[in-house]
Amino acid sequence: ILNVEQSPQSLHVQEGDSTNFTCSFPSSNFYALHWYRWETAKSPEALFVMTLNGDEKKKGRISATLNTKEGYSYLYIKGSQPEDSATYLCAFIAGGYQKVTFGTGTKLQVIP
């Protein structure tokens, strides 16, 4: 079983604050790293698909970085808004059989 960890487990921030959280994964046999956003009562949706060491992706106020050599990825949210409240999941995809292993998620609550 692959070890994929996310921290913090939960986070409360004020509207307008910037925040970031971490996903740690094995530094060997890397194929891809995904970030998903899971809003309550909805399906998880992909935010970013990252494949190369040093990748930086951005979508509006949300961005992510990837370090495959040391096995971590950061997700940043600039100027948090209430609609950013969700659980953010990372998923590590190993090479070969492309096993997809999810972290436990970071639950973000943005307080208006």
Partner 1 sequence: EAGVVQSPRYKIIEKKQPVAFWCNPISGHNTLYWYLQNLGQGPELLIRYENEEAVDDSQLPKDRFSAERLKGVDSTLKIQPAELGDSAVYLCASSSGPGTGNTGELFFGEGSRLTVL
Contact residues toward partner 1 (CB under 8 A) are 4, 6, 9, 31-32, 34, 36, 41-46, 49, 51, 89, 91, 93, 97-105
Residue 66 Cβ vs partner 1, minimum distance, rounded to whole Å: 12
Residue 40 Cβ vs partner 1, minimum distance, rounded to whole Å: 11
Amino acid occupying residue 35: W
Residue 16 Cβ vs partner 1, minimum distance, rounded to whole Å: 27
Residue 19's region, left for phi above 0, alpha for psi from -120 to 50, else beta, is beta
- Beta carbon nearer to partner 1, 18 or 53: 53
Q: E strands, the chain, where?
A: 5-7, 10-14, 19-24, 30-38, 45-50, 56-59, 62-67, 72-77, 86-94, 100-102, 106-111
Residue 83 Cβ vs partner 1, minimum distance, rounded to whole Å: 19
- Beta carbon nearer to partner 1, 78 or 102: 102
- Beta carbon nearer to partner 1, 43 or 112: 43
Residue 54: count other Cβ atoms within 10 Å of its Cβ.
Answer: 10
- Beta carbon nearer to partner 1, 28 or 43: 43
